[in-house]
Chains A and B, each alone.
Chain A
């Protein structure tokens, strides 16, 4: 089955048509190799990095922003968000610190993207 995408690699925004031809993924409409790579990835296994934010206990900030440390399959995004909503973070937190391992069975970890210090300093 043919699928259509708008390429996101640059502002040109080529309209890509991608299809499977006997096991080989074909891309048409791209004007550069980056467009082809994007088309193949989006057709075979679309991936997204999830960013969100979670409440912190005893922190100098109410919330701590977080992200998955690797892109996760697009169809797993709702599960990842659900898991992030359940996280309880305790201050202090450093940037890059893991706050949830192997989120929703994706193999990716959720890590803090901001520093939150203890409330009493």
Chain B
């Protein structure tokens, strides 16, 4: 064993940095953050647009500014070390972290581990789009890094598939750097992106958005020469080939979903949630692998970094407590998604005192929505909301003293 630390944090993005700070504040003396990039801050460094931090800092920041606030705090904290250019290869169930970095292979025995590896983008392979395999097909985030950080333009004439926020923001970014964006195609009848981005990214720049439309074929030998787009049947999502048309372009950007990056988590033996693709955690964000915690996009994909920072603080604080022997093992109850609810985090709760915040997402739009949280026959929360959409993470607080068995979270129309 090369060294021992109280808390090892895997990933130096917004989740990892916030977890490290809170772990240190909660009493962990040696906190080690391992980051594979050569700069801390994670994906925020390429998200140069603004809109971050409204909830956490009460002001509107760009991604790099939001990241820098945490980087500055970490740099001024003696007990936190950030190891850059370091790729973690495995985390064992007994919390031995193996990594490779500038100094070669290292092993670290951690009192507690915080998993904060974030997520990655779904690629063309996950969609199975037909056609040739030319250059010019990028995920939106990859293009974002090239344009904003490396100063390179991935193409001149662009089609974007997927109208999530990253797709919308990259559509504007490409126009602002001189490209022509032909269209944004969205498979679903609605966008999961914010209205603000539809207005300020697409409408402001005259970019058309086609719902119930997808890319069915990619053309070109060396480089993309165009794509075939077609409308889909709103019920089955099957392309209607009679609507197919050729759109000339040299670049296809994909913004078609994010997947938590959990290869390391699986090696710890922690139970996984098939819906979130992240670990199953309790309210302390502890996985079923003891002493191993998870937070941020590796746990479930967030839409606001502000929520990532909050969740990471919970994980960091409890990781420190565990490392110091102050987090007792307790029996848990299950939290279950019902009706329109797709998933709830945390998936487990420890019975007892105090409050717990439940984060959840619906699978379809509800206008208006009725939320009911109950424990057996007892209703803990019942409230109405004007609208709930799949793109917006919802939050509700429950009183733990009312919980004596499994909890269900339900959303229905009304």
Contacts and interface: CB of A to CB of B under 8 A. Distances in A.
Interface of A: 5-8, 11-13, 31, 48-49, 51-53, 55, 61-63, 65-67, 74, 77, 81, 95, 113-115
Contacts of A49: 50, 60
A61 B391 CA distance: 33
Interface in B323-368: none
B147 to A, nearest CB: 8
Nearest to A54: B151
B204 A65 contact: no
Interface centre among A11, A49, A63, A114 (most CB of B within 10 A): A114
B50 A8 contact: no
> Nearest 8 A-B pairs (CB), nearest first?
A114-B64, A65-B48, A8-B196, A13-B195, A113-B62, A63-B151, A53-B148, A8-B195
Contact of A113 (B64, B176, B386, B392): B64
B39 interface: yes
Given A55-B151, A63-B149, A11 B387 contact: yes
B245 interface: no
A6 B147 CA distance: 29
A62 B196 contact: no
A12 B198 contact: no
Interface centre among B148, B176, B391 (most CB of A within 10 A): B176
A63 B149 CA distance: 5
Interface residues of B, number: 31
A6 B49 contact: no
Contacts of B78: none
Given A6-B198, A48-B200, A62 B62 contact: no
B65 A113 contact: yes
Contact of A48 (B45, B48, B204): B204
Contacts of A81: 176
Contact of A12 (B60, B64, B196, B386): B386
B59 interface: no
Contact of A95 (B68, B148, B204, B387): B68
Given A51-B50, A52-B48, A53-B149, A7 B64 contact: no
B45 A51 contact: no
Interface of B: 39, 45, 48-50, 60, 62-65, 68, 71, 147-151, 176-177, 194-196, 198-200, 204, 386-387, 389, 391-392
Contacts of B204: 48, 74, 77
A115 B39 CA distance: 11
A77 to B, nearest CB: 8
Given A8-B194, A11-B387, A114-B68, 9 more contacts: A6-B195, A7-B195, A12-B386, A13-B195, A31-B386, A62-B149, A63-B149, A63-B151, A66-B48
Contacts of B71: 115
A62 B391 CA distance: 33
B211 to A, nearest CB: 14
A62 B389 CA distance: 39
Nearest to B61: A113
A48 B205 CA distance: 12
8 contacts: A8-B199, A11-B194, A11-B392, A49-B60, A74-B204, A81-B176, A113-B64, A114-B45
Contacts of B150: 62-63
Nearest to B49: A51
Given A49-B50, A51-B48, A115 B68 contact: yes
A49 B50 CA distance: 8
Given A52-B48, A81-B176, A62 B151 contact: yes
Nearest to B68: A95
Nearest to A114: B64
Contacts of A12: 386-387
Contacts of B48: 51-53, 65-67, 113-114
A65 B386 contact: no
B195 A53 contact: no
B62 A67 contact: yes
A115 B194 CA distance: 29
Nearest to B45: A114
B158 to A, nearest CB: 17
Nearest to A64: B64
Given A12-B387, A74-B204, A63 B194 contact: no
A77 B200 CA distance: 12
A38 to B, nearest CB: 10
Contacts of B62: 51, 65, 67, 113
Contacts of A67: 48, 50, 62
